Structure formats: structure tokens, C-alpha cells
Amino acid sequence: MMKFSAKKIADYLNGEVEGDHNIEISTIARIEEGHQGALSFLSNMNYEKYIYTTKSSIVLVNKDFAPTGTIEATLIRVDNAYESLAALLQLYQDSIPGRKGIHPSAVIEDSAKIGKDVYIGAMAYIGENVVLGDRCSVYSHVSIENSTRVGEESVFYSGVKVYHDCLIGKGCIIHAGSVIGSDGFGFAPNQANDYKKIPQVGNVILEDSVEIGANSVVDRATMGSTIIRKGVKIDNLVQIGHNVEIGENSVMAGQSGVAGSTKVGKNCMFGGQVGITGHVTIADGTKIAAQSGINSHIKKENATFYGSPALEYKHFQKSYIVFRRLSELKDKVDLLVKEVKEIREG
């Protein structure tokens, strides 16, 4: 990493230096593991104690941060330390030259249309009538099947599989091992008491700036499209069923699952291992705590849900006070029953 002075960093972030303007950093470290030449940040006050002992040369802090002790590091005060760190990391990543060129072992069908300045890695496959936009990166062992269209600057990491007829927007990132457009889970029981497969003839649409984590799956629609709207971020090991729609800028943590034909609103946030049954609607701005289960519609916007089956947060809190004491309450009920029995028999 190149060296940057506190002044240059502050100028880039519209921040204010408090300390040595000329001190330089060449790497980034967690505040509790800081060392000379490193930049750290403090946004969560649970880590405040480390700012007084960190060896990092520079620490990003919010402008309203009020220290309660002596700090040796140079501070850069910004509007939002976490967002500023993200901006610096993006600047660093953008400074790394992108890979270009087509590996000789890649297979590209003659009817495919390949944009400018793309990278296609070893053993990758680009199918018939695929359109791959400018500056896309397709890493090793990726397969993009027939008639899929990909927008500019999208990235497919090693082992990604994109089935036929899918539409991938601009600036999408799909991490290693993920599958886009596999068959939805559609089977019909028959009189022989077995299951007949229902052909899945739809597709998957990822709008612009969608990111899919490693080893996640987005199933194609039975008919029509499974749609992941603009700006959605999906973590590793997530399952999205057929004909699901995820609204703009929603985020979903690892090991979550959304069953078929569910509609998730925009700006929703799901914790890890959230499970959502099929054919329900989730309102805009819904927040669902980790390991919660949703089995019915959520109509109220910007509400928070806990538990399985999930309850709205304030109702969950009241219920939890009761069911955490069920064993104690049972003992009391048993005692009352015994006393009533003795009174009746006496």
C-alpha cells in the first residue's frame, strides 16, 4: 500500500487533523491491534478504551467524539468514521490495476458478444448469445450460459455458475461458488405418491449494484422472473427461492432463506439464519433479528421482529419476560393445584 499523510487523508475525507499533519500510514489495522504506520478507526464506543492504548499512527473518529483520556495517535475527525474508512478502502482497491485479457483455456462461443477491456480467466465458459459488458471480470471456472446478458463492470469470482437467459445489471459482484438461475424447487405430487418435476421456465434478474456472497443460490422463476432489485446485498450461504422479489437496498446476512414467491420490500435488514416462508409480503424497512422465523405477512413498515414465529419487538419483549419463567410458573401452578386438592379433600 502506498504511504499517505494525515493531511492528504483529511483532505480526501473533508476531515480535520488533530495532531501531526505530516505523519504517514501505509496500512490499516483494527484499533486494538494497531501499530506504527497503521490507520485505525473508532465508531463503536464499545471499543473506546483502545484509543488510549493503540499504537496506530492515525485514528479516524467522529467529529463529536470527546476523549476522556490522553491519546497518542493523530486523530482525523470526520462526519462518519465508518463510512470514511469504507471510502479509503474503496480508494485503495480502485488503485489496484484491474486484470484484462482472455486466458487461452477459456471457451467463448462464436455468437457471444464480449465488451471492451474484459478479463476472462482460465477454464471459464461463455455460452451462445451471451452479452458481456465492458470491463467485466470473469474469473477461473466461471460458467455463463446461453443468452445471459451482463452489464458493464460486473465481477464473477471463481466457480460462479449463471444459468441460461439471466439478466445481470451493471456493477454487480457475485462471489465464488454462487449459482444464479438454478431450478426453483417445484414438484407436484401425483396419484403414484411420488413427485413430478414442474419445469422452471423463468429466469433471474439482478439489477445494478447487487452483491451476492459466496456459495449463495438465487433460483430461477417457475414463470416470469426472480428479481433482486438495485443495491441489494446478500451474504454468504443464502437461499433465494423461485419468483422471490427483494426490494432495493435490502441486506440479508448469512444462512438466511426466503421461500418461493415471497416479496421483500426495500431497505429491509435481515440477520443471520432468518427464515421466511413462501407467498408472504414483507413491508419496506422491516428489520428481522437473527434466527427469527416469518410465517405471515408483515404489513407495518419500519418495524423490528424477533423470535420464531416472529413477533414485533415490543410484543416479543413482553412475551419473553413470561416464557423465560415458564418453569418457575409451572412449579407455582403445581403447588396451587396441590393446595386446592388438599382443601377439597380436607
User: Catalytic annotation on 175?
Assistant: no
Q: Is residue 20 located within the same domain as residue 139?
A: no
Considering the candidates 21, 242, 279, 297, report the single residue annotated as catalytic: 242
Cβ contact 29:38 at 8 Å: yes
Task: CATH number of the domain at 27, please.
Answer: 3.40.1390.10
Q: How sure is the predictor about 191, in pLDDT bands with cuts at 50, 70 and 90?
A: confident
Are 129 and 44 found together in one domain? no
pLDDT tens-digit map of 159-190: 999 999 999 999 999 999 999 999 999 998 88
Look at residue 267 and tell me if it is in a domain. yes
Residues 152 and 91 in one domain: no
| pLDDT, position 154 | 98
pLDDT confidence of residue 312: 84
Count structural domains, the chain: 2
Give the domain-ending residue among 95, 128, 150.
Answer: 95
Domain span at residue 267 reads 101-317
The sheet carrying 245-246 orders its strands as: 113-114, 131-132, 149-150, 167-168, 203-206, 225-228, 245-246, 263-264, 281-282
For the chain, the straight-line distance linking the first and the last C-alpha, in angstroms and rounded, comes to 87
pTM of the model: 0.84
- Whether 316 has a pLDDT exceeding 80, the answer reads no
3-state DSSP assignment of residue 329:
helix
* Residue 97 one-letter amino acid: P
Answer yes or no: do 163 and 90 share one domain.
no
- How large is the average pLDDT for residues 312-324? 78
The answer on 111 and 31 residing in a single domain is no
Domain annotation covers residue 10: yes
pLDDT (tens digit, 9 = 90+) per residue, 24-55?
999 999 999 999 999 999 999 999 999 999 99
pLDDT over 90 percentage in the chain: 82
What tens digit of pLDDT does each residue of 60-118 get? 999 999 999 999 999 999 999 999 999 998 888 877 777 889 999 999 999 999 999 99
Domain boundary among 50, 79, 95: 95
How would you classify the pairing of strands 304-306 and 311-312?
A: antiparallel
Residues 43 and 133 both lie in one domain: no
Residue 205 has pLDDT above 70, yes or no: yes
Residue 175: give its domain's CATH number.
2.160.10.10
Closest residue by Cα to residue 28 from 98, 99, 97, 81: 81
> Is 333 within a domain?
no
Residue found by looking up cell 501505509 in the block: 26
What's the count of helices (H) and strands (E) in the chain, helices before strands?
Answer: 4, 40
If asked whether residues 105 and 224 sit together in one domain, one would say yes
Q: Say yes or no: 177 and 250 in one domain.
A: yes
Question: 198 and 80, same structural domain?
Answer: no
